[in-house]
Amino acid sequence: MKVIMEAGLAAPSGCNKQTTSLIAVDDPKVLVKLLAAIDPPVAATAPAMICVLTQRINAYRDRCYATQDYAAAIENMLLAITAFGYHSCWYEGHITDVDRIGDKLAKILNVPENYELVCILPVGIAETEPKPPEKRSFEERAWFNIFNGDHGGL
């Protein structure tokens, strides 16, 4: 887990404010408490979880890049998780939605109030090989030199 977390923390951050912090959880007693707070349930069989924290710190001209910072860290960790032969899933909306599950998880983990728990990454081996979502073609989403295609949007 440490190498995966190091990969996340090596991600770039806006104005190098380093707004992302992480908590790895592999203690079954703590995992049970966290999973009990997540409704509807997810990742019930994962033996470990990385909780992603952020601090909303202004970086440049009163702009905060915390979302971009933790997104880059999460992508690095997802790549590292896959490289080690494990599986994961980025759970954010489920955690930060109006029911504020992230706040409940943060309380269990004793996270200070100046941090926000914004995402969880369960880490383990999937019961079945995950099927990637269908993606639109390269030609519908990427161009060279100029934007030259109107494919009707979504």
> What is the per-residue pLDDT for 151?
56
Task: Report the CATH fold assignment for 2-141.
Answer: NADH Oxidase (3.40.109)
Q: In whole angstroms, how far apart are CA 51 and each of 17, 21, 63, 73, 150?
A: 19, 9, 24, 12, 39
Dihedral pair phi/psi, residue 58, rounded to 5°: -70, 140
> What is the per-residue pLDDT for 111?
98
> What is the per-residue pLDDT for 78?
98
> What is the per-residue pLDDT for 127?
86
pLDDT tens, N- to C-terminus, the chain (154 residues): 999 999 999 999 999 999 999 999 999 999 999 999 999 999 999 999 999 999 999 988 889 999 999 999 999 999 999 999 999 999 999 899 998 999 999 999 999 999 999 999 999 998 888 888 999 999 988 999 889 766 555 4
According to DSSP, residue 124 is labeled B
Burial state string for 57-68 with b = 16 or more CB within 10 A and e = fewer than 16: bebeeeebbbeb
CA-atom Rg of the chain in angstroms: 17
